[in-house]
Amino acid sequence: AQSVAQPEDQVNVAEGNPLTVKCTYSVSGNPYLFWYVQYPNRGLQFLLKYITGDNLVKGSYGFEAEFNKSQTSFHLKKPSALVSDSALYFCAPRAAGNKLTFGGGTRVLVKP
């Protein structure tokens, strides 16, 4: 069985400051890891993924994520947050059979 944990329900950051959203996972075999973002009244949008290769993955809207196998983590980062980054973020490892398992989500609030 696989699982994912996002330990923070909410992250508050000032605009222009670095943003980090934490994610740890448990999967059998090689992990396929995804980050999605959900803006108010919208569906989930793909941000980035880790399949294999470089541990630092770059995605949409200036986001990046660092895969750390020994710590089983896949933290989402952005060097300089924008107010428009305020949203709900989900980490999702992929299991065999195509299933994505979603964490509880982390709400990001970027204040001007």
Partner 1 sequence: EAQVTQNPRYLITVTGKKLTVTCSQNMNHEYMSWYRQDPGLGLRQIYYSMNVEVTDKGDVPEGYKVSRKEKRNFPLILESPSPNQTSLYFCASSLVGQGINYGYTFGSGTRLTVV
- Binding to partner 1 by CB under 8 A, coded x per residue (else -) over 29-48, reads ---x-x-x----xxxxxx--
Q: Rule CB under 8 A: is residue 53 a binding residue for partner 1?
A: no
Q: Is the dihedral of CA 21, 46, 64, 66 positive or negative?
A: positive
Query: What residues from 65 to 104 belong to the interface with partner 1 (CB under 8 A)?
Result: 90, 94, 97-104
User: Considering the complex, what minimum distance in angstroms separates the CB of residue 60 from partner 1?
Assistant: 12
| Closest C-alpha among 110, 101, 54, 45 to residue 82 | 110
Q: How far is the CB of 34 from partner 1 (least distance, A)?
A: 5
Q: How far, in Å, CA of 31 to CA of 39, rounded?
A: 26
Distance of closest approach, residue 62 Cβ to partner 1, in angstroms: 19
Q: Give the span between the Cα atoms of 32 and 46, in whole angstroms.
A: 14
Q: What tokens appear for 42 in the block?
A: 């919208």
Residues within the interface to partner 1 (CB under 8 A): 9, 32, 34, 36, 41-46, 49, 51, 90, 94, 97-105
